[in-house]
Amino acid sequence: MKLKFKAFAAFMLAAVVSLALFLSPSEAAKARQLRYYALDVGQGDCSLFVLPDGRNVVFDAGPRSNAKKTVNYLKSCGVRKIDLLVASHPHEDHIGGMKELLSKIPVKQIWDSGYNHGSKVQRDFYQMIKDKKIPFGRPKRGYAAKLGDVTLEVLAPAKPLKGTSSDANNNGLIVLVTYGDVSFLMMGDAQKEEQKTISPLPRASVLKAAHHGARNGTDAELLRDVSPDIIILSYKRGNSYGHPHKETVSAIRRAKILRFDTADGPVKLRTDGKSVTFERKRVVK
Ligand SMILES: [Zn+2]
């Protein structure tokens, strides 16, 4: 039995080595790329990182109304399992799709903000994590995880904030994802109150705009600190909140940042850790 296993392991090793030898230079370069997708989930949020080593990290799962489409889109990106699923905060537009996602795609680990909203959608989410026995953590500022060459750094929450304009938003996870010289700042729906707990906010190549481009999430001060090359706004056109707010839109325009909206369809970026390329027909002016 042991010998058989050894022979199999030797065969697999040979297969991997020969695969590596026969990769063309462009395929080898592709293999070192990180792919990022901001999905079009309607009014809500869902992002996918496909890491250079093939691991998948998903931030949020969009609203329940879009859940089936969200799961199908993730599958169309080649996602057969999720290595890390991050629930930025417990609002429905971020975790409403979790039930469908957890029932269709195996998840190895979950990070949650730890903010107890008490809603049915959050209770259902927690119940499902329990039923499926998925390892679950509530990382705080200072925690970092290394997945191959990619680092995920938790910038917030540090300690619970109370009495803010939205405690659910302001106790959410803010995570910096870094690959080489390129970083993505994942803000969730964090508003000014939580952002102020991080000083200074780090510089990032790509900013996943806070709170769907709401004025209390993404303003000129945030744009100055983070100084992104690319900003992504996730929202549904004609939403009842008026996202993105006109103050945010004009601050982005003044700062001359390349802007992509999920309302125009999914946003797809690639990086080799040095520069970022994008697939997009329409750039918002
Ligand atoms: Zn939201």
pLDDT in tens, 223-265: 999 999 999 999 999 999 999 999 999 999 999 999 999 999 9
Q: How many CA atoms lie within 13 A of 268 on its CB side?
A: 10
The pLDDT value given to residue 199: 84
Report the 10 Å Cβ neighbour count for 131. 9
Give the residue extent of every domain in the chain: 27-279
The Å distance, Cα 94 to ligand 1 centre, comes to: 6
The Å distance, Cα 3 to ligand 1 centre, comes to: 54
The Å distance, Cα 190 to ligand 1 centre, comes to: 9
**pTM as predicted:** 0.89
pLDDT in tens, 92-136: 999 999 999 999 999 999 999 999 999 999 999 999 999 999 999
The Å distance, Cα 134 to ligand 1 centre, comes to: 24
Quote the strand ranges of the chain, DSSP E: 34-38, 47-50, 56-59, 84-87, 110-112, 136-137, 144-147, 150-156, 174-179, 182-186, 206-208, 230-233, 258-261, 267-271, 276-279
Q: Pick 27-279's CATH classification: 3.40.50.720, 3.20.10.10, 3.60.15.10, 3.50.50.60.
A: 3.60.15.10
